[in-house]
Amino acid sequence: MKTLTLKLMLIFFLLTNSLHAKSKYFDEGVNLYNKEKLEEAQFKFEQEIVLNPKSELSYLYLSKIFNKLDKKDLEEQNLNTVMLLNPKNEEAIYNLAKLKLASSDYKKSKELNNKLNSICNKFCDKNNELKIEIENLSKK
């Protein structure tokens, strides 16, 4: 009985230390991102993902970094990963719709805009602006 308790305590200790390390990488990444140290931030978010492959926000920040670095393929890849992890992530849906619109994929942009419209809480205003932008550009 003592051995089982000891093992459980050891597992709990290791898990809690692991969770602290994960948030440390994420927090460091956010701080570096806010200071525009994009390559260093990218590395921290990637470290977070190694420890926590379901870190939705790390993928979202990576997509923002790749947007700023004008690496559209990597931005899209990370936005798609965010949406796999959380199909209702409004920021990812909005950013992917904007990305599709910029690449003249009006159909996909409109689909994403409609999806965002059905779930929006925080991005409702931006969603309406995007809808108008899609309509105007698709008429040309």
- Domain residue ranges of the chain, discontinuous segments joined by +: 1-86, 91-140
pLDDT digits (tens, 9 = 90+) for 40-87: 999 999 999 999 999 999 999 999 999 999 999 999 999 999 999 999
pTM: 0.77
Better-predicted residue by pLDDT, 118 or 10:
118
Q: Which two tokens stand for residue 95?
A: 């950013």
pLDDT at 100: 92
Q: What per-residue string of b and e applies to 47-58 under the rule 16 or more CB within 10 Å gives b? A: bbbebbeebbbb
CATH fold of 1-86 reads: 1.25.40
Average pLDDT, integer, range 24-33? 97
Average pLDDT, the chain: 85
pLDDT at 7: 57
Query: Whole-angstrom Cα distance, residue 19 to residue 17?
Result: 5
pLDDT at 20: 44
pLDDT at 21: 45
List % helix, strand, coil for the chain (3-state, nearest 5). Answer: 85, 0, 15
Where is 132: in which H helix or E strand? helix 124-139
Q: How far is CA 110 from the centre of its chain?
A: 20
Query: Whole-angstrom Cα distance, residue 102 to residue 135?
Result: 13
